Structure 1
C-alpha cells in the first residue's frame, strides 16, 4: 500500500496575507510553485498545502530510497515540509526551483538520520520489493523476487549519498543537473557518486 503523507502541523504565521492571495483552492491549484511559496511566506497555509499535495509523494519516495524505512521516511518528509514552511520567506525562485530546494532539505535530513543510526538496516529496499512482478509464471516470479531482494540488499549497503544519487538519477528520473542541484554538488561530483555506487553494487552483487 502506498504511504500517505499527512499535512504537517504548521505554526501560524504573524505576517498578513498578500493582497493578491487567491480566494479559492482552485486558483491556488493553478498557481506555480514560486507563487505558492510567495503566498506561503505571507502566511497562506492553504497555498502551502497545495505544495504538500503536489510534491509530497516524491519527497516521501526520495526519503524512503535513502532510509529504507517507511516510518522514518515519513518523519523526514514531514520535517522537510515543516522546515520549508518556516523558511518560506527565504526561498528565492531565481536561485533554485522549489522542487530542487525541497529535495535538498529532504536529502540532508535523510542523510543526517542515517549517520545517527547505530548500525545500517539489515533489510532495505522495501519499496523495491513491493513492486509488482510481470513474470509469466511462478519460477520466473521467484527468480525476479530474488533479484529484487539482492538488489535491495546491495543498495542498503551503499553510503547514504550514493543511495541518494542513485534514487534521484535512476529511480526518480531527474536530469543530471537537477540531481546535482538537489544534492548540492557539481554535475561532475554527481557522476563520481554514481560511478562509485555502480562499482560498489557490482562488487556486492558478484561477491
Structure 2
C-alpha cells in the first residue's frame, strides 16, 4: 500500500477532512480506528461476528457525525470507544433473554504446543470471568487493563467520574481474582 500524506494527520483532522468530502481521509481513519472498536466489542461480547457488527455500526455513526464534528470537544478515539461500548452493552442487554451459558465459546483454530494450549485456557478463563462481571465493571476493566486507557479517558467514555471508574475497576479486579483464584493450578500457575 502506498504512503498517503493523510497517514500523518490526527484522527480529528482526518474526520474533519472527511466531513468536507475527502473520501481518502475516511479510508485512512477507517484503517486506524476500526480495529479499536472491534477489540472493545470482542472483549465485551465474546463473539467475533457481533463485534464486527458493532465496529461497523460505530464507524457508520462516526461518519454521520463527521460534518458536525466540533473540533476540540473530545478525542475521536474516545468518542468511538464510547459508541462501541454503548452498542456492545445494548447487545448484551438484548442477549439476556438467551442466557450467557447458551452462547458458544469461540473455537481455537490454531493447534499448537502445550504453551499455546495453556495460554488459550488462561484467555478463555479470563474471558469467562469477564463475562460474569456486571456490565459497568467489565467495561471499566476491559478499557483499563486490556485496551490500556487511562482512568480519565475511561471516565469520559463511560460518562462517569474518575472516582467511579477507580471503584468499578477495583471491584471488577476483586471479582476476577475471586473467580480465578481456585483455578491457579489448573491454569498452569502452580501453588504460588
TM-score band (shorter)?
Answer: 0.7 to 0.9
Pick one of 23, 29, 51 that aligns with 2:29. 51
| Structure 1 residues 131 and 26, CA gap change in structure 2 (3 angstroms) | same
2: distance between equivalents of 1:108 and 1:131?
A: 31
**Cα pair 2:43 2:127 within 8 Å, conserved:** no
Pick one of 7, 12, 28 that aligns with 1:34. 12
2: distance between equivalents of 1:188 and 1:26?
A: 41
Partner of 2:152: 177
Q: Deviations over 1:141-191 (max 9, x none)?
A: 655544433222111111222222111100111111122222222111111
Q: Which runs of 5+ in 2 are unaligned?
A: 183-192
Deviation at 1:81, TM superposition (A): 0.3
Partner of 2:162: 187
Instruction: Note the aligned Cα RMSD (angstroms).
Output: 2.8
Deviation at 1:61, TM superposition (A): 0.4
Q: Indicate the SS of the match to 1:87.
A: helix
Q: Indicate the SS of the match to 2:100.
A: coil
Pick one of 60, 69, 79 that aligns with 2:57. 79
Q: Which runs of 5+ in 1 are unaligned?
A: 1-23
Deviation at 1:126, TM superposition (A): 4.7
2: distance between equivalents of 1:73 and 1:27?
A: 30
Pick one of 187, 199, 206 that aligns with 2:174. 199
After superposition, where does 1:2-41 map in structure 2 within 5 Å?
A: 26-41=4-19
TM-score (norm 2): 0.80
Matched, 1:163 2:138: yes
**Cα pair 1:177 1:187 within 8 Å, conserved:** yes
TM-score (norm 1): 0.75
